[in-house]
Amino acid sequence: MIKLYGSRPTRSTRAAWMLEELGLEYELIPRFDPRSAEFLGHNPNGKLPTLVDDGLAVWESMAVNLYLAQKYGGALWPTTFEDQTRANMWSYWAMTELEQPLHAMIGLRRNDPKAAAELEAKVQRPLRVLEAELSKHDHLLGAEFSVADLNVCSVVVFGRYGQCDFTPFPRIDAWQRRCAERPAAQRVAKLPMMPPPP
């Protein structure tokens, strides 16, 4: 059985969402010792999430999701090489262009509002890119929800936690809400994912 080592508030919810979308049976392991030899044997970084599938350990949340999409993905993994490339492209884009400033902004909200406001201004540029793409079709690769939408939306949702104003981005706002309303996303919100281990 697939095992997912993961808890909140980490990127583990991204991997759990993918597993739920795929309808795969898996064991969620929210409590464990990240310094144990057993866990470090799976992930020498000692970080979450870590997925173990038939003896193969996969870590880094985007890599986990792309692995699951390619191995089990059905409709979530595009059929053409070009769309597979676009799915990878949007996933990497979300990490490099959007995720880092969003996380930093959220961390600064309480301690340094001025710095947080500067970061929010930087976040506007990638959000404009995403808004423009979503003006072309309902989802990132076309008409249907795919791994690209899941991966990018799982980053965008941090903007909600960080109290980003999505008023200038109505297409992102509507798309993110549609993604969050998917049954698999709703199931993940109810998972008993404990806080991260010490």
pTM exceeding 0.75 = yes
Give the domain 77-182 fold. Answer: Glutathione S-transferase Yfyf (Class Pi); Chain A, domain 2 (1.20.1050)
Q: Which residues make Cβ contacts (< 8 Å) with residue 174, sequence separation at least 6?
A: none
Q: Supply the pLDDT for residue 195.
A: 53
Q: What is the pLDDT of residue 198?
A: 45
Closest Cα to residue 179, out of 12, 7, 4, 21?
21
The yes-or-no answer to whether 2-74+184-189 and 77-182 have a common fold is: no
pLDDT value of position 79: 95
| Domain boundaries of the chain, sorted by first residue | 2-74+184-189, 77-182
Q: What is the CATH number of domain 2-74+184-189?
A: 3.40.30.10
Per residue of the chain (198 residues), give pLDDT as tens: 999 998 877 889 999 999 999 999 999 998 888 889 999 999 999 999 999 999 999 999 999 999 999 999 899 999 999 999 999 999 999 999 999 888 887 777 778 878 877 878 888 999 999 999 999 999 999 999 999 999 999 999 888 776 778 899 999 999 999 999 999 999 998 887 655 444
Q: What is the pLDDT of residue 172?
A: 96
- HEC secondary structure over 115-165: HHHHHHHHHHHHHHHHHHHHCCCCECCECCCCHHHHHHHHHHHHHHHCCCC
**Contact in structure between 97 and 126 (CB atoms under 8 Å):** yes
Output the pLDDT for position 197: 45
pLDDT at 88: 97
Minimal CA–CA distance to 80: which of 141, 149, 151? 141
Query: What is the predicted pLDDT for the residue at 20?
Result: 96
